[in-house]
Each structure stands twice: as C-alpha cells, then as structure tokens.
Amino acid sequence: MPQRKWFVQRTNPEYIKYLSQSTGISPALAQILINRGIKTPESVKQFLSPDINHLIDPFDIKGIKEAVDILKDAIKDGRRILVHGDYDTDGLTATAIVVESLRSLGAELEYFIPDRFVDGYGFSNGGLQHALNTGTSLILTVDCGITSFDAIKKAKSKGITVIVTDHHEPKRDSSGVSILPEADVIVNPRLDPEAPVMSGAMVAFKLCEGLLGRGEARRLLDLAALGSIADIIPLVDECRIVVKEGLSLINSFERKGIKALAEVSGLRAGNINAGVLSFTLIPRINASGRIDHARDVIQLLLTDDYDEAVSIAERLHDLNLKRQRIEEDVLSQAMEDVQHRGYDFAIVCASEGWHEGVVGIVAARLVERFYRPAFVFNIDGDIAKGSARSIPPLDLYECISRCSDLLISFGGHKQAAGLKLPVDRLTEFEERINIIISEMLTDEDLIPTLTIDAAVRLKEVSFRLIQELQKLEPYGAGNPEPLLGTKALEVLNPRIVGNNHLKMLLKDNSVVMDAIGFDMAERFEMLQNGRIDAVYCPSINEWEGGRFLQLRLRTFRASEN
C-alpha cells in the first residue's frame, strides 16, 4: 500500500473538558467519542451502555406490518412458504433467523439457497422453479430480491405472493428515483432515508421481532450479529445494540452450530469478539457458498444435534482450507497482471479459469495492496462475471451505475458490488470506469489516511483508560478500535522476537512502557534513529500471573527531532 498520511483528529479542548467532566470519563475517551459523533452527555451514556430496550420498534420500518400480517394469515391458512436466501454469511444467517421463527409459529415451509455457479446471485429462475415444484404460494426473500424484477414478475403471474426483505441498493432511474419490483410487500431500509443502516440478517431479525415480539426474538440476536459483522455494517445505533447483545449469546455457546464451529476454529467461549469472528467463523461459513453449496450452513445454525453440528463444522473448516489455496493462486495471477499492465484510477483484472467464489476476496486484497478500487473478473466463454471492492472515499455502486449500459447485471453497495458483462465490453468498461472514478476522486483521495483518535503522552495511558476504552466495544466498521499517537518516544532494547515480530521498550520522559509490533520485523532498521513517533492501541498483557500495560503498535516512523 502507498505510504499513509497520518491525520490526528482534534477538538476544542474546552469542549473535551466539558464532556469529560459532565460524564465522568477521561479526556482521551471524550476525544474519541467526539470523533465518532457522540457529543452530548446523553448520547455518551447510550453509546457506552447499549440497551436492547433502545431498539427501534419493528413496525416503524416501512413494510414490516404488512409483511407480518400476510405471514400470519398464511400460517393460519396452512399455505406453503418458501424462504429464499443467499449464499454468504449475511444471507445464510438471515435465512436461519426467518426459518427458525416461522417454524416456531407452525408454518409449513421450505428454504432455498441458490447455488452460486448454477443459479447466480439473488432470486432468479432457479428459486422460482423450486417454489413451483414444492407447491409454494408465498415466497419470502431475505438479503436479496430488490432487483429481481423478472423472477418476481413471473412468480406473480403464477399467483404466488411475494414479500421482499433486502438491504441492498435498489435500481434507480436517471433522476435517482427507486425502480422497484412488483412484489406484494418490500421491506428495505435503503428506501427510507431515516432508517438505520442494516444487514440482511438485521432486516430479517426486525421482521421476526414483529412476528414474535422482542422477548421471543431475542434468541435470534446471535445470528443477526453474525450476519451484520460479516457484511461490515457500521456498528453504531441499532446495529451496535444488536451486535453487543448478539456477541453475548455467541459467547454463551447456546446454539449448537456456533459452539461446534467455534471449537473447530480453536475458540473458547468468552473470548469471541467481532474481530475474531471476522477471521474464524465467518470465513468458514462463507467458504461453503464460495466453492461449494451453502445449504448445510442452515442445518448447522438450526440443529439441536451437537454431533451433526460438529460434522458440518468440520466440513466447513476443510472447505475454507481449500478456499485459501484457490484464493492464493488467483491472487498471485492477478498481482502478476497488475504489475505487468499497471493501473490508473482503478484496477481491472480478468482471466479465464479464475474461481468465481474468490474473485471478491482477491479484489479486496488488491485494494489493500494498491489502495485503488479493484474489479476482478472470471471469463467464462463470452461472459465476464466479477466482483468489485472500493476505497472509502468512493461510492462504487454509483460508479457502476454510470456504466450500466455496458453490463448484463449488477448489484451491491457503496464499498462492494458484483457485476456481469459481455467479454467484448471489458476494454470499454475499463476505460469508462477509470474516467468516471477520475471525475469522482481527487489525488488526495488516492492517498490512504491513518486516522489517529488522540495524541497523548504515555503518562495518560493507564489501566483505567484501557478499561474505559473497552466500553467502546464491539469494534468494527463505523467504530474502529481507537488509535492513540505519541511523538518522540525513545526506543530502548529493540529486538526481533517470535515469528517476525518487533519488541521494545518506549520511553516518554520518565514513563517506560512495553511495546510490540506484530509482523513488523522488516522495519527493524527504522528503529536505529533511537526515537520514533508511534501509533498504537493500548492493551493489558497478562503473563505468568502478572498484568502490565503494553502498546500494540499499528505503525511508526522515525522522529524528526
């Protein structure tokens, strides 16, 4: 990645003092909360103590009352319901939420998870045919459907009731007005500018909260949290409450499937946070939909048979290992292509034989490496099908929308999208997307920024501060782990330890503190100056029965003085 510029967020010192004194928190925590837009004593209280009772009423979300009424009538009348999900973690957890809820109400139902390689994304002919084959009279989509115009129209022509629940961007006309499918009811927070940002699993949870009541629906928060973390939804407002409560359920291991998958991943109850899930359970769940079929995940999440859960979890673990090998192979080829062809405002890579299930991850890895929006396509005959990932300043969905005349189909969000186009349009697409992005970004936007929450001296880093910072959890999108910065630290006893890590003591006046930089051994020479400016996360390290403060280095540079 290009050299990052450091940006220290600053606020009026008098306001920091006011918020600190009025809430009883440290000035450093006050600064961090202000950075996150939490600027009043009341909002500080709500953020630091998220309460399930502060969740919005599900019936305040447009379409939920109508959907609940239709579903209750369908259950009473014994109509067969098809729950149509998606093959990623968000879509799978959303499916499990709805299936568990409807079964508890006595519904006669089936669920359908599309095959990435046969059916493609979303509600399409495969899902419709399954509905017709099973005598379905009501289709409920979760985490998909908002752009499934043809399949919904065909379903309606067969007399099937269709409820769409989704959180993806709708198609819009040239003036920005939403173009919607002809479903009986649509529930999508994207259609309401006042609604909070939600994952597909959260939308499913709100629907089931309306069906069951908050008390009964509470048991589903583990699945809603898992889907929200997987889809990188900002952990603020409604989502923060859902994930906070859901993590407690996940750590209880009450759900047999989560317990089995966690144990296969080497995790223990009580130590699982959002970051841990992103590197353990979520990749294993996603692996099934990336390189195989994901239907077993629903059984994993719903079963009460622990032995069955372990069997499925072990299969997902093996699939994830296979996915990693495939991903590394495609990434290596894509990197060679980029280095050979170069890039402009965007990276566009395409090749035959690239596994469709990993092109999205490879696009994300290219963004991480080059800090450019990346589009990675697999070519199959005369069709190029791919995934795209963006950098924070760029609305990827808007960019792709402006190229829609070149595409067969597309969908997604500001930061991630999927798209399909004829191979003979690839060159034109690459040229057009670069022009569009050049118009939307400045040169400054193409320089990655490391945002530092507060500049502090080491004397301010204490056990009390770290305990305060823990109240900010869960960390994730929209609420990253706080980064502190300190200039002109004296480096004492620097050394390489373990597998490629840096270890040292850092001195600031009379305060000396332990510091570790994971995977930073190649930067050892930068310490020879004797003084560094450091960006870090303060932590408590427990070792041989003792507890001591430790700085986990995020980055550092040689001090200028």
Q: Which residue(s) pair with 553 in the sheet? A: 536
Q: Which long-range contacts (CB under 8 A, 24 or more apart) does 333-342 make?
A: 334/362, 334/366, 334/376, 335/366, 335/369, 338/366, 338/370
The two structure tokens encoding residue 329? 């192979």
Question: Beta partners for 492?
Answer: 505
Check: CB of residue 94 under 8 Å from CB of residue 203: yes
Task: Report residue 115 as tokens.
Answer: 């095959």
What confidence score (pLDDT) does residue 4 get? 84
Q: Are strands 108-112 and 80-84 parallel, antiparallel or unpaired?
A: parallel
Instruction: Identify residue 450 by its one-letter amino acid code.
Output: L
CA angle, 194 then 195 then 201, to 5°: 170
pLDDT at 544: 76
Burial pattern 153-187, b for ≥16 Cβ within 10 A else e, equals ebbbeeebbbbbbbbbbbbeeeeeeeebbebbbbb
pTM: 0.91
Give CA–CA dist 95/142, Å, rounded: 6
Residues 6+ apart with CB under 8 A from 306: 256, 259, 260
C-alpha 288/C-alpha 311 separation (Å) is 14
pLDDT tens per residue across all 561 residues of the chain: 667 899 998 889 999 999 999 999 999 899 999 999 999 999 999 999 999 999 999 999 999 999 999 999 999 999 999 999 999 999 999 999 999 999 999 999 999 999 988 888 889 999 999 999 999 999 999 999 999 999 999 999 999 999 999 999 998 888 889 999 999 999 999 999 889 999 999 999 999 999 999 999 999 999 999 999 999 999 999 999 999 999 999 999 999 999 999 999 999 999 899 999 999 999 999 999 999 999 999 999 999 999 999 999 999 999 999 999 999 999 999 999 999 999 999 999 999 999 999 999 999 999 999 999 999 999 999 999 999 999 999 999 999 999 999 999 998 889 999 999 999 999 999 999 999 999 999 989 999 999 999 999 999 999 999 999 999 999 999 999 999 999 999 999 999 998 899 999 999 999 999 999 999 999 999 998 899 999 999 999 887 778 899 999 999 999 986
- Do residues 507 and 531 touch, judged by C-beta distance below 8 A? no
Whole-angstrom Cα distance, residue 30 to residue 28? Answer: 5
pLDDT for the residue numbered 1: 63
Q: Which amino acid is at 288?
A: S
Tokens standing for 122?
């979303």
| 39, 22 contact by CB (below 8 A) | no
Q: What is the bridge-based pairing of β-strands 80-84 and 138-142?
A: parallel
Under 8 Å between Cβ of 330 and 358? yes
pLDDT digits (tens, 9 = 90+) for 451-477: 999 999 999 999 999 999 999 999 999
Continuous segment of H or E residues that includes residue 270? none
Bridge partners for 396 per DSSP: none
Tokens standing for 64?
């939920």
Strands (E), 115-158: 138-142
**Residue 249 · residue 269 · CB < 8 Å:** no
Give the separation between CA 61 and CA 193, rounded to whole angstroms. Answer: 11
Q: How far is CA 508 from CA 295, 358, 528, 533, 540, in A?
A: 56, 46, 17, 11, 19
End-to-end CA distance of the chain: give it in Å, rounded.
26
Distance CA 184, CA 178 (A): 16
Q: Give yes or no for a contact between 198 and 238, defined as CB atoms under 8 angstroms apart.
A: yes
Distances (CA, A) of 556 to 210, 462, 506: 50, 21, 12
Closest Cα to residue 373, out of 404, 414, 425?
Answer: 414
Digit-coded pLDDT (tens) for 209-261? 999 999 999 999 999 999 999 999 999 999 999 999 999 999 999 999 999 99
| Domain annotation for the chain: domains and CATH numbers | 5-49+449-558 (2.40.50.460), 54-252 (3.90.1640.30), 342-446 (3.10.310.30)
Alpha-carbon torsion angle 220, 222, 224, 227, nearest 10: -140
Q: Nearest to residue 37, comparing CAs of 183, 171, 332, 237?
A: 237
> What is the pLDDT at residue 207?
99
Name which of 174, 177, 198, 160 is nearest 61 in CA terms. Answer: 198
CA-CA-CA-CA torsion sign (472, 475, 478, 479): positive
